Amino acid sequence: MATERVLLPSAVTPTHYELSLIPDFSTFKFAGSSIVDLTVNEETSSITFNGLDIEVSAASVTVGDKTIASKDITLDAENETITVVLESVLSKGDAKLNLLFTGELNDKLAGFYRSSYEHEGETKWLATTQFEPADARRAFPCWDEPAVKAQFTISLTFPADMIALSNMPVESESTEDDVKTVKFGKTPIMSTYLVAFCIGHFEFIETTTSEGIKFRVWTTPGKKEMGSFALEVGAKVITYFGEYYGIPFPLPKQDFLAVPDFSAGAMENWGLVTYRETALLCDTEGASVASKSRIAYVVSHELAHQWFGNLVTMEWWKELWLNEGFATFVGSQAVAKFFPEWDIWTQFISDYIFRALQVDSLRNSHPIEVDISKARQIDEIFDAVSYCKGASVIRMIENYLGEADFKRGLNLYLEKFKYGNATTQDLWASLTDGSGKPVKELMDNWVQKVGYPIVSVEQGDTKGQFKVSQKRFFAAGAPTPEEDETVWNISIGVCSKSHPEIKYVSLKTKTGVVEVDIDEDDEWVKFNAGQSGFYRVAYSAPLSERLGVAIKEKQLSAADRLGIQNDAFALSKAGLIPLSQTLALIQFYVEEDDYTVWSDLSANLGAVGTLLSGTAVDANLDSYTLALYSSIKKLGWDPVEGESDLHKRLRAVVLSQLSNHGDAAVVAEAKKRFAQYVEDPSSLANDLHGVVFKTVMRNGGKTEYDSMKKIYLAATQPENRIRALQCLGFSTQEVVILEALEYALSDEVRTQDMFYLIWTCASTSAGRVLAWNFVKTRWDDILAKLGGGMGLVGRIISFTTKDGNTTEWADDVEAFFETHHADSTERTIAQSLESIRANAAYLTRNLEDVSAFLTTNYAVKQ
C-alpha cells in the first residue's frame, strides 16, 4: 500500500523569498520579516505554510497595488504548519505574502541556533543554521519540502564587529552606529533545507580555484590555520567534480565553516557547507592519518552534494539515498584520486559495504527507498542503509555499466533535471540512455526491497562447474517463505587460482549453474571476486578449505581476503557455520599485512570478545588473539622512515589488539609513553594517541582518569580533544565509569559530543550494565540536554543496548521503552532488540563448541 504523504496545500507556490532576520545575542531571540513571491494556482481564501517554534505576528497579501489583510493566523502544532486566513479570496495569478515573525536562537542544534566557544577567557556566541531535513521552518515561515524550490534573497542585521555568511556572496552592506546590515545575492532555485546563514566573529583562509571559484575556510578566532588541509583538498575536489559531472560549479564562491556545536558531521548547504570541527580542522603537519582521511572524505562528500542533491534534488525524502548514497560513493572516488596511497576502495568495502550488510541483515531494516508520510519521520532514515547500502549499490551500477557509460548517464541526468527534482526512476532512465543497458531491470530489487541475498556455492558435476543458489540472509534465523520471495539480479564476479582475472556471470533465478575457468579440479575459486557485490557467499566445506591456503599464501587480493573473513564471521553469527570453524579459518591470516584486513578482522574479533566476555573461555580467547597477532607484532612502536600512511594506521590497530588482550610488554610500554606525553606532548605521534590513552585508562584508575580529563580540557586540536574524551570511558573500575557517565552530562562536554563518552563507557561488559542503568535513571536529563539533536538520542540507545547477549537484557530494554519515548527512535530500538536476541542465540548455540576449540588449542596455563 502506498504511503500517503502529508504535504502542504498546492493552492499557492513560492518562487522567491525576500528574507530579513535580526538576531539578538543578549536574549537569544530573533525578529524577522519576509516577502514571498507566490504563484496562485487556484482560488483560495487561505495560505498554509510550515512553521515551528516561530510566531507570525502580522500577515497580508499584496496583489498589484491591492492589499488583502488577514483575519486570522492559526497554528497546527502537530503538522508544524501555520495558516493565514484572508479577508477575501485570492484569485489565480501572482501575489506577494508579507509576514512579520519572531523566533528563538535555540540550543537544539536545529533551525537557527546558537553555539558558544571560549576565546581569551571569555564565552563568545555565534548563530548558525541546520535545516535538513525539516528545520528551515524553525527559522522562517516557508514551504519546507524539497520539491517546493524557490530563490532566496537574504538580509541579516547584527552587531557590527561580527561577520555574516550565507549561500551567496555579499551584495551590499551598511553600518549604522554599532549595527551592520548585510544583503546577499539572490540564490539559484533551491530547496529550503539547503539555505544557510551564520553570524559570528569568524576568521578565514582562502584560495581561488583554477576556474575562478573563491574558496574559503572560516573558523572561530585562532583556528583558521587548522583549515589549511581542508582548503587544499576542497579546492582540488571542486574542480575535479566539475570535470567529472560535466557541469561547472554553479555558484561564484564556496565557503566552509567549522561550527563548535554541530549535531551531524557536516551539512551541504549550497555554497556554505557547515562542519563539526573534527570533520574540517586539523594540525596539517601533526594530524593522524585517520583524522586527515576523515576530513578529506567529509569534504569530498559535501562537495559531491553541490551537484547531486543541490543542483538536482530528490523529489521527496523517499529518495534520500540519491543524495547520501551517491555522495558517499563519489566522495570516496575523489579521495581515491587524490590520495591513492590510502587504498580507499579496499577501505570502502569495510567502511560502507560491510556496515550496510550488518544493518540490512536485520528484520527491522528497511529498503533503500522507503516512503514516509511526514518529513519529521526522516531522521531515522539517515542511517547505514541510505548512506552505505546506497553507496554500495551505486558502486555495483558503475561496475556493471563501466565508468565511461556511468559518467555519461550521470551527465544526462544532471543536465535534464538541474535546478529541479528527480526520482530514482529518473536516474535509472538517464543511466540507461547513457549506456544502452537495462539499469532498471538490474537495480529495482536492490533499491525497493529490504535485505540482500546469500549466495551458496558448491562444486558441480563437471570441471569448472559450480552450483549456486540465492536466498535472503538474516543475522539470526532462516527466512520464512514470505521473507524469501525476492529474487535478486546478481552480477557475480568470479576468479580462480589459475585465472585470477575477474569475470562476471549473472544469476537471475533462485538456483543456477556457473562456469568458472579453472585448470585443476581442486584449485581455489572466489565468488564475489573483488567484493563489488552487495551479498554474502557461503562455500561448501571443501571450497572453504582451499581458500584458507590461498589466504595464507596471499594468492588473493586484499579485498578478497577482507571479504572472506567478514562473511565467515557473519555466517557463524547467523548459525550457518560454527564459530569454531570461523576461528579456525582466521588462523590463516597470521601472516596478513594489510591495514584494512586487520582493521576489520580486529573489529570482528572484538565482537566475539564482547560476546564471550565474562565466560570461562575469556582468557583463552586472549591467548588465541595474541597468537594470531604474533607475526604482525614486529611493526613495533616506532615509525620507520618512508613507511606508508596505512602502516601507521596498522601499527595502531595491532598495538591496540595486543593491549586489549593482555600483552604485558605492550601495556608497560604504553604506560611509559603516556608518562612521557604528560611531560612533553610532542613526544607521542598522533597516530598512537588512541592506543596509548586507551591502554592507560583500561589498566589504570582515578589518577589516570584525572590526567586524561586534563588532557581533554587543555586540547586545542579537535582530534585530540575528542580522542581524550572518548578514552575517559575506557576504565574498567566501576567508580571511574560512574564518574565518567556523570561527566558526560556536565557543561564541560558539548551536547554534540556526549554520546562519545557514553559509548566508550558501554564498551566493556561491566561498563555496559552501568551505562544502560545510567541511561535509564537519567533519561529525562539526557533528552533535555540533547534537545533536537538529529540522531544523537538514537546513537546513545544503540551504543548502550545492542551488545547485550541475554534474553533478560532484551526484555529489560523492551520494558523500558514501552514507557519512555523519544522521537524518531522506534527503528533504532527495534534493531537493538533484534541484535540483543541474535547475540543471545549466538552465544547459546556456540559456547560449548567454541570453548572446546579454544581450550584444546589455546588454553592458558595456570
**Catalytic sites, residue numbers:** 302
Strand (E) positions, 41-80?
44-50, 54-63, 66-76
Q: How far is CA 705 from CA 673, 684, 783, in A?
A: 16, 19, 26
Q: How far is CA 631 from CA 224, 588, 823, in A?
A: 43, 12, 49
- Say if residues 620 and 859 touch (Cβ distance below 8 Å): yes
Q: What secondary structure letter does DSSP report for 343?
A: -
Q: How far is CA 437 from CA 369, 416, 417, 421, in A?
A: 22, 19, 21, 24
- Say if residues 549 and 588 touch (Cβ distance below 8 Å): yes
- Say if residues 43 and 6 touch (Cβ distance below 8 Å): no
Strand (E) positions, 518-625?
525-527, 536-539
Beta carbons within 8 Å of 397's beta carbon, 6+ residues apart: 406, 431, 439, 442, 443
The amino acid present at 671, given as its one-letter code, is: K
Given the C-alpha cell 535538513, which residue does it identify? 132
d(CA 342, CA 595): 10
Q: Residue 531, Cβ neighbours under 10 Å: how many?
A: 28
Q: What secondary structure letter does DSSP report for 1?
A: -
Beta carbons within 8 Å of 851's beta carbon, 6+ residues apart: 615, 616, 617, 620
Q: Residue 417, Cβ neighbours under 10 Å: how many?
A: 18
Q: Phi/psi zone of residue 530: left (φ > 0), alpha (ψ -120 to 50 degrees), beta?
A: left
Question: What is the grid cell recorded at 294?
Answer: 576523515
Beta carbons within 8 Å of 676's beta carbon, 6+ residues apart: 683, 684
- Report whether the peptide linkage leading into residue 14 is cis, meaning its omega lies within 30 degrees of zero: no
DSSP code string of 449-496: SSS-EEEEEEE-SSTTEEEEEEEE--SSSPPPTTTT-----EEEEEEE
d(CA 230, CA 280): 6
* SS3 per residue for 350-365: HHHHHHHHHHCCCCCC
Beta carbons within 8 Å of 506's beta carbon, 6+ residues apart: 489, 490, 491, 492
Question: What is the grid cell recorded at 103?
Answer: 523566533
Cα dihedral sign for 704, 753, 291, 168? negative
